[in-house]
Amino acid sequence: MVQPYGRCQHCGERLYAHIEGGYQCLNCGRRYTEEALEEQMA
Ligand SMILES: [Zn+2]
Instruction: For residue 22, report the distance from its CA to the centre of ligand 1, in Å.
Output: 14
Burial of 13-34, coded b for 16+ CB within 10 Å and e otherwise, reads eebbebeeebbbbeeeeeebee
User: Which element (helix H / strand E) includes 17?
Assistant: strand 14-17
pLDDT on residue 1: 46
The radius of gyration of the chain from alpha carbons, rounded to an integer in Å, stands at: 9
Q: How many domains does the chain have?
A: 1
Instruction: For residue 19, report the distance from its CA to the centre of ligand 1, in Å.
Output: 17
Report how far residue 27's alpha carbon sits from residue 42's, in angstroms, rounded to the nearest whole number: 24
| Per-residue model confidence as pLDDT tens digits over 10-41 | 999 999 989 999 999 999 999 999 888 777 65
- Domain coverage including residue 17: 4-41
Q: What is the pTM of this model?
A: 0.68
Q: Is 34 helix (H, G, I), strand (E, B) or coil?
A: helix
Identify which has the larger pLDDT, 17 or 6.
Answer: 17
Instruction: For residue 14, report the distance from its CA to the centre of ligand 1, in Å.
Output: 8
